[in-house]
Amino acid sequence: MKHLYLTYIVITIFVAISPLFAEESQKRSIKVSGNITDADTKNPLSFATIYIHETYNGSASDINGHYTILCEPGQSYRMTVSSLGYQNIDTLLLLQKNTKIDFSLHPRSFALSEVVVSAKENSRENSSSLIGKEALQHIQPSSLADVFQLLPGGLTKEMAMTTPQYMQLRQAGSDVNTSLGTSFMIDGMTLQNDAVQNVYGETTSPTVLYGVDLRSVATDRIESVEVIRGIPSVEYGNLTSGVVKVALKRGKTPLGGRVKSDLNNKLFAVGEGFLLPGNAGTLNIDLDYMHYKDDPRKELSSYKRFTTSGRYQNRFTIGEEISFKLDADLHYTGSFDKTKSDPDAMKGKDDYEYNDYNNVSFSTSGTLSMLQKILKELHYNLSVSYTSTLTERKQLITPGVMPLPSATEEGEYDAQYLPAQYSSLLKVDGKPFNLSAKIKAKGEATTGKIHHHITTGVEWQYNKNLGKGEIYDQQRPPYPATKSTRPRPYIDIPAVKNLGLFVEDRLRYNFGKSTLAATAGLRATPFMLPKEYALSGKWYIEPRINTKLDLPDFQLYGEKIGITLTAGAGRHYRFPTQAQLYPAPLYFDYIQLNYYTQNPDLRMLNVRTWIEDPTNYNLQPALNSKYEAGIQIKIGEMSLDLTLFNERLNNGFSSESAFVSHTYRKFDPTSVDPSTITQRPDLSNFTFIHDTISSLYSMAQNNSYVNKRGIEYTLYLGKVEALYTSIRLNGAYFLTDYKLNALRYFKPGVVINNRTYPYVGVYNYHNTENRTRAQFNTNLDFDTHIPKLRMIFTSSFQAVWFTKTREPWNNGLPVGYLDDTGQYYTFEADQANDPVMKHLTDTYLSKYFDPTVVPLAFNVYLKMSKEIGDFMQIGFYVNRIFNYQPGYKDKYGRTVSSQARRSSNGYPYFGAEISLKI
Amino acid sequence: MKKKTVQSAFYISLIALIGIWSSCEKEEPIPTVELTAKVELTGVTTGSKVDELTIRVKSNQTGVTKEFTAEANGETTMTLEEGVYNFEATGKISYSYTDYEGEEQTKTESIAGLIENLSVSSSMTNKTVAIQTHITVNSSGWVIKEIYSASTKTSVGNKNYTHVQFVEIYNNSGEKMYADGLAIGETQVTSATVPNYYADDIANYTFVQTLYSIPGNGTNYPVDPGKSILIAPYPINHKVEFDPADNKLLDLSIADFQWYDEHSLALQVPEVPDLIKHYSYSSTIWILTTQTNRGLVLFKTDNIADYVTNNIDQRKNNAGKDAIAVRLDNAKVLDAVYLGHPEKIKVKTIAPSLDLGFTYCSETFNGKSVRRKVSHVESDGRVVYQDTNNSTVDFIPDAEPQPKQFKVD
């Protein structure tokens, strides 16, 4: 039934697009063509890109630098010509007949007058930031995580590379749903980690998983990064927060390298782009190595990354109107920390730990462009990624003698006592594997005065883990004290599949001197799950729209003023990961008889094991509804971008407690006197009572709620020519609410008069999970660019005016409680004084609910990049060269000193790098 | 007739003379011995000063007591006739100690010592009589003799091994006592909890987070004078079971009671009776604080189960959250030891009336215990431990663990 549905849809798409292969009824009659060359060497530039803003059409020059584009007479078009390593040319076309235009591009260098080292607001309808090559280089990044400081609301800080770095977007604080809900794409290939089961050798808890670890993405091969903060096109799915699109360098480049060193990091990168002989295209090869140490004295807290990549590109033309661009990429990322061993944790002579990570991915995409047809473009992308993670840990375990429950089935059984010390060997073999395929078609049509640019397509993703999972001797477990799961091969876990169908119309309507552009689209995804799940097969529809109104320019006091208004709304679904959909069964082991006599031959241990399935068969995707509106005002050279947004995440992924009640037989060890027996007694010799006990376990749920509201602003004040300095200001005010919309269960871990606490409290609030956070910051940057010295110097003054945190008030009392059998009782207010019930109350001083306000933190950062000769560029930066963080009184009236604040945010930090071009 | 009178007068005077002569017995002189009586102090800290040292010598034959005052060095000379005497020394001792706030304090205690039936004769080889004196014991009953909580590291693998912990309680009196109903517990706050949110109440109460008691109807567990109760969580021979080559592991199979927690981390040793777990903050196992910064109390009351239920105290701790502990009446606390590291003590968690000072182990897992000092040994060999309610003076910090051993060091 499902397959029939799918086939029907695919056929419909093909039928719908076939007329697009027909010739356009109204041909664009003017042909513009020419040659693109290097201004210095006069050599042709192959595969240079030409982009027309009004028609959203792109083209590229062929191997000889020759290009052709079509346009209509009497229409004005904005055209951008760009090539890797060269300065862009922006031009305006208003033509009446076929014209030949040649472009001559200058290689990028600080000697040129126009260099942009900040994030630019993209010209599309949604709010997104574009970070170009120069901006990337100027911040001297070690990994992709460093890039986000350029976004409004971003703060410059060093990334601690020994722990995973997760994405934060448009928020004060962070949460897993934003990290999981951001889609990362590298040249059309989505980075997926939905089938990851273990991080650092431990199987992750069967609940919420984080998103992509930003440390693993090297930056030297990146040409540009676009961060879509607002509402992305329906072409991008399985996300809630935003999209990060990375474009890698393609094309001929000279041999270049970079060496960077700062207090914790050493980085080395080298790469070159070759023009293959015989018009066979271009091939870019690069590699990069980074070594990060938290503390130079400590060997073990370090992170080492090695990456290499080969990217092939070619472009074939069939006549002047049909061309086919082909890309094929092969990437490898590895971390080779083979001898990580913690001297304090392992004192056995043979102890060691070994962590191996290797990822290989292959991606190919092709675009067929047809200039004269209604169907303008056919595009495919196919990628496959395979990761092998292996952790091996040999450790001397000395628990002191303790019981070992080890059953894999339910029931009562005799068990063993563990020896007081033993060597355990743990291997964790994780092999996440993913496959994705995408086909899309673009066409154009005109209805009256409105130009339509339609894109439709289908995308399919497949995630599975091929690893063997945790492997160890069950009789000698590595973690004897906490054993609620048993080994489960990852390959046995079902795959996670996603299918997305999308259709989008990007339209333009010119009326008078104004232009209205809108992108409206729809994405549909069936939830591909086995029948047991409640929402199996349900379709989720995501409508999204972004609009932009360009008002006509007008003059005021001699300055040209332009105003643009934007608005958008959209729905976004993020589907659950493998670890959330198919968690491992949980084992509850209750020791029925613990008879550890002083005579080893008489010892007895009897255990009752229950198995629970923590799968949530009602698991839903997380839904984020985004609304935003913005205004952009240009006054002469100055520009102000202001965006207001409101995002509401419902059914966000959360991990919460579920209640379960078990019975077991509690045998009395004193009922058999060891001095009266000569051989191991039988279980029937002991007296017992039936006992019921309650427990809580974790289950994946959809109860997180996040509401992000705020204003992002970017103000460009123009250039003070005499000082060669341009001034810009950016920042944001974020107000973020985090809430868990569910009941909370809590069982006090106390024993009263020989009885474990008999109740589980049920609360309708979550302390520390529910909170509101706010942050307001401003970054003022002065970019001094002196072409004669070929140098850019940025001084950045960053002020976080305040950060505020507040927890909503609660009365500290439960709404009810459950006894050991699961019977529910309402909690009466007067029970709070009962000596046993007191343990369920958790009241706070009223001051606890006052907001915590941390006042101004002010820092100054300096960055410098300079070219030396033709071959070398050096960079240097100092963070927090000046730091002002006054002390303040917290909500309890206690003083937090300036010293305490400063030390928690670190002292000055600096680094330097050299880049070479041969 | 004249001749006859003179003759009888002569004979009468002669008889009278002989009579007088014989009645005047010439006495033998009794030998005297010059000896030095010296007061010796045991079990007191250095830097102490003795005062008002009096030595009373009582003759067993005549019952006459002579008093001498000793000099500052504790000595005095005396001349005694040969005989059998009792030597008794009394006096006052002043000593200083550092209290939990780091301040120097002085205390004065009475000291006493006794030597009975000492034979004094000229043939004595040693003419110095050393009278061992000790601080007069003011508790006569149960005392906490040793607490081993710092635990040790294993020789192989250098792992933290807390299973060798134990608490030993000693019968310091001269009579048989019954251990039924004795309870032990650790205080809720540590010596580093600033401020101590129980500070207003500790004069009358001690607040504990754990309380385990010895079962029994009152006469089930007799303990002779000079004997002890050893309580351990793992009453097994650790050396044999774990690593025979590791001398830091103790044989605790000699324990009298086990504090047993029903949890997969614990072992139930059926040969050793269990304590009743009246209250514990933890549903897993109770491990004594290895940093040695909590107080340990010995408590006894009737109907302890009801006492616990009726004395649960709930108040805000320093983080503004609720803290729950059992409130023990100080009048029912038999003995208390305050543990706290000298450089890290900030607050007192036990009333000064229960313990003026503190004791400690300098490092966690250093294999050392805190053990009470021996005051003196009675004539029948029974060891008496010192208890002035001042752990700084009464305890040996960083001591070698000696379960069920009562050595006079």
The closest of A554, A563, A565, A454 to A508, measured between CA atoms, is A454
Q: Residue A108: its pLDDT value, please?
A: 79
Are residues A672 and B270, on separate chains, in Cβ contact within 8 Å?
Answer: yes
A431 pLDDT above the threshold of 60: yes
Contact, A619 vs A576, CB < 8 A? yes
Which DSSP helix (H) or strand (E) runs through A912?
strand A909-917
Chains A–B, number of C-beta pairs less than 8 Å apart: 138
Residue B317: per-residue pLDDT = 84
CA distance A803 to A709: 15
Q: What is the least distance, in Å, from the CA of B343 to any CA of chain A?
A: 23
What percent of chain A stands above pLDDT 70?
91
Distance CA(A427)–CA(A487), nearest Å, equals: 11
How far is A572 from A229, CA to CA, in rounded Å?
13
Q: What is the pLDDT of residue A370?
A: 83
| Pairwise pLDDT comparison (B171 vs A374), residue with the higher score | B171
pLDDT for A455-512, tens place per residue?
999 999 999 999 998 898 888 888 876 667 788 899 999 999 999 999 999 998 888 8
pLDDT digits (tens, 9 = 90+) for A767-785: 778 899 999 999 999 999 9
Predicted local distance difference test score (pLDDT) of residue B26: 59
> According to CATH, where is 2.60.40.10 located in chain B?
32-135
CA-nearest residue of chain A to B321?
A: A844
pLDDT tier at A538 (50, 70, 90 boundaries)? very high
Among A191-195, A327-331, A413-417, A695-699, which range has the highest average pLDDT?
A327-331
pLDDT at B275: 93
Place of tokens 């839903």: A620
Instruction: Please state the rounded mean pLDDT for residues B283-296.
Output: 87
Mean pLDDT of B211-231: 92
Question: CA A373 from chain center: how many Å?
Answer: 38
Residue A557 has pLDDT above 50, yes or no: yes
pLDDT exceeds cutoff 80 at B15: no
> What integer is the mean pLDDT of A39-67?
83
The pLDDT assigned to A905 comes to 65
Chain B, nearest residue to A421 by Cα: B242
Would you place residue A28 in the very low, low, confident or very high pLDDT band (cuts 50, 70, 90)?
low
Percent of chain B whose predicted confidence (pLDDT) is above 70? 93
Between CA A262 and CA A258 the distance in angstroms is 13
Answer whether B264 sits within 8 Å of A402, measured CB to CB: yes
- Residue A537 near chain B (CB below 8 Å): no
Round to whole Å and give the CA distance between B261 and B259.
7
Residue A670 at interface with chain B, using a CB cutoff of 8 Å: yes
Cβ neighbours around A40 below 10 Å, total: 10
Short-list A291, A211, A280, CA closest to A244: A211
Is A674 touching B (CB cutoff 8 A)? yes
Q: How do residues B84-97 score in pLDDT, each as one tens digit?
A: 888 888 888 887 77
| Per-residue pLDDT at A226 | 92
- Residue at A416: amino acid letter: Q
Chain B residues with beta carbon closer than 8 angstroms to that of A403: 264, 267
Residue B281: list chain A partners with CB under 8 A. 749-750
Residue in B257, B233, B252, B237 with CA at minimum distance from that of residue A420 = B237
Q: Which chain B residue shows the shortest CA-CA distance from A847?
A: B320
Averaged pLDDT of chain A? 85
DSSP state of A263: S
A402 to chain B, any CB pair closer than 8 A? The answer is: yes
**Max avg pLDDT among B5-19, B35-49, B337-351:** B337-351
Mean pLDDT to the nearest integer, B171-190: 91
pLDDT of residue A343: 54
- Residue A595 and residue B284: Cβ atoms within 8 Å? no
Put simply, the answer to whether A752 touches B309 (Cβ < 8 Å) is: yes
Q: What pLDDT digit, counting tens, does each position of A601-613 carry?
A: 888 889 999 999 9
Taking 50 as the threshold, does the pLDDT of residue A206 lie above it? no
Q: Do A398 and B268 touch (CB under 8 A)?
A: no
What is the arithmetic mean of pLDDT over A92-104?
A: 85
Query: Once rounded to an integer, what is the mean pLDDT over residues A865-885?
Result: 88
Distance of CA B18 to the CA centre of its chain: 69
Q: Are B154 and B405 in contact (CB under 8 A)?
A: no
Q: Say whether A421 and B154 touch across the interface (CB within 8 A).
A: yes
Taking residues A321-342, report their average pLDDT: 79
CA atoms within 13 A on the CB side of B139: 23
E strand intervals along A115-201: 120-121, 128-131, 182-186, 189-190, 198-199
pLDDT of B105 over the 90 cut: no
Write phi, then psi, for B242 (nearest 5 degrees): -100, -60
Phi-psi region of B303 (alpha: psi -120 to 50; beta: other; left: phi over 0): left
Segment B321-327 shows an average pLDDT of 88
For position B211, what pLDDT does the model report?
94
DSSP H/E element including A13: helix A2-17
Q: For residues A552 and A91, what is the distance between their CA atoms, to the nearest angstrom?
A: 19
Residue A369 has pLDDT above 50, yes or no: yes
From A36, A118, A111, A41, select the one nearest A80 (Cα to Cα).
A36
* Contact assignment for A402 to B266 by CB distance below 8 Å: yes
| DSSP three-state, residue A226 | strand
| Bigger pLDDT: A383 vs B242 | A383
pLDDT tens string A707-764: 999 999 999 998 888 888 999 999 999 999 999 988 889 888 888 888 889 999 999 8
B389, pLDDT greater than 80? yes
Residue A25 has what pLDDT?
Answer: 47
Confidence check: pLDDT of A295 > 70: no
Nearest-angstrom CA–CA distance, B193 and B229? 31
- Give the dihedral sign, CA B30/B31/B34/B37: negative
Predicted local confidence at residue A444, as pLDDT? 86
Is ipTM > 0.85 here?
A: no
What does the pLDDT read at residue A205?
42
With an 8 Å Cβ cutoff, is A398 touching chain B? yes
Say if CB B153 and CB B365 are below 8 A apart.
yes
pLDDT at position A896 over 80:
yes
Percent share of chain A, pLDDT over 90: 34
**B32-135 CATH pick, 2.60.40.10, 3.40.630.30, 1.10.30.50, 1.20.1090.10:** 2.60.40.10
CB A728 within 8 Å of CB A118: yes
Architecture per CATH, domain A2-107, reads as Sandwich (2.60)
Number of H helices, E strands in chain A: 5, 55
> Is A212's pLDDT higher than 80?
no
Average pLDDT, chain B: 84
* Measured distance CA(A71)–CA(A48) in Å, rounded: 19
| Interchain contact, A812 vs B270, CB within 8 Å | no
Q: Going edge to edge, which strands form the sheet with B322-329?
A: B205-208, B322-329, B312-316
And the tokens for A75? 């229409």
pLDDT of B136 strictly over 60:
yes
At B43 the pLDDT is 58
Residue with tokens 């004669």: A788
Per-residue pLDDT at A729: 92
The token pair at B330 is 């100080």
List the domain boundaries for chain A. Answer: 2-107, 251-297
- Give backbone dihedrals phi and psi of B47, rounded to 5 degrees, phi first: 80, 15
* pLDDT for res A207: 37
User: Which band of pLDDT confidence, cut at 50, 70 and 90, is reported for residue A680?
Assistant: confident
Query: Is the minimum CB–CB distance between B146 and chain A shorter than 8 Å?
Result: no
As given in the structure block, the two tokens for residue A535 are 């929402």
pLDDT surpassing 70 at residue A361: yes
Tell me the DSSP string of A780-809: EEEEEEETTTTEEEEEEEEEEEEEEEE---
Q: Which of A5-19, A492-506, A524-538, B304-318 shows the lowest mean pLDDT across its residues?
A: A5-19
pLDDT at A1 over 50: no
Render pLDDT for A161-183 as a digit per residue (tens, 0 to 9).
666 677 888 999 888 888 888 99
Mean pLDDT on B118-138: 78
